[in-house]
Amino acid sequence: MKITLKCFAFLARHLPAHAKKNAAEVELQEGTSVNNVIDMFQIDREDAYLVILNGVFVCSEDRDSTLLKEGDTLALWPEVAGG
């Protein structure tokens, strides 16, 4: 299945080379969890502070049990803030 992976701020360097505008389409196997993706792209789990799946925050306790599906958008940030 294919999903869109987005990595922002300091996490952008973990994106594959074909990424544009901080986003890349990536191919995953069925049953891949949010944490599997974070590990797959060699992102330290603690650095993936803000994890947004299809616009909704996924808390750290749910990142193993939340499985991705075709067409999902997974967006990752380190701890950031502004205002």
Partner 1 sequence: MSWTGKILRVNLTEGTVAAEPLNMQWAQQYLGQRGLASKYLLEETDPKCDPLGPDNKMIMATGPLTGTMAATGGRYSVVTKSPLTNCIACSNSGGFIGAEMKHAGWDMIIFEGCSPTPVYLYIENDQAELVDASEIWGTSVWHTDEWLHNKYQDPLLRISAVGRSAESGCLYAAIINDLHRAAGRSGVGTVMASKNLKAVAVRGTLGVGNIKQPERFMQVVNENKAILAANPVTGQGLPAYGTQVLMNVINEIGALPAKNMQEVQFDGAHDISGEAMHEPRKSDGKPNLTTNAACFGCTIACGRISTIAQGHFTVENKAKYWGNSGGLEYEAAWALGADTEINDLDALTYANFLCNEDGYDPITFGSTVAAAMELYEMGVITDAQTGGVAFNFGSAEALAKAAEWVATGEGFGKDLALGSKRLCEKYGHPELSMTVKGQEFPAYDPRGIQGIGLNYATSNRGACHVRGYTIASEVLGVPVKTDPLVSEGKPDLVKAFQDATAAVDSSGLCLFTTFAWDMTNIAPQIDAACEGEWTAEKLVELGERVWNMERQYNMQAGITRADDTLPERLKSEEGAARTGPAKGKFSEVEKMLPEYYEKRGWNEDGAPTDETLNRLGL
Residues that bind partner 1 (CB under 8 A): 6, 8-10, 12, 21-22, 49-50, 52, 54-57, 59, 73, 75, 77-83
Pick the closer one to partner 1 by CB: 44 or 64.
44
Residue 18 or 21: the one with the smaller Cβ distance to partner 1 is 21
> Residue 12 Cβ, how far from partner 1 at the closest point, in Å?
7
What whole-number distance in Å separates Cα of residue 52 and Cα of residue 50?
6
* Residue entry with tokens 């999902």: 72
CB atoms closer than 10 angstroms to residue 28 = 20
Spatial contact of 26 and 3, defined as CB atoms under 8 Å apart: yes
Read off the tokens for 42: 């060699």
- Cβ 10 to partner 1 shortest distance, Å: 7
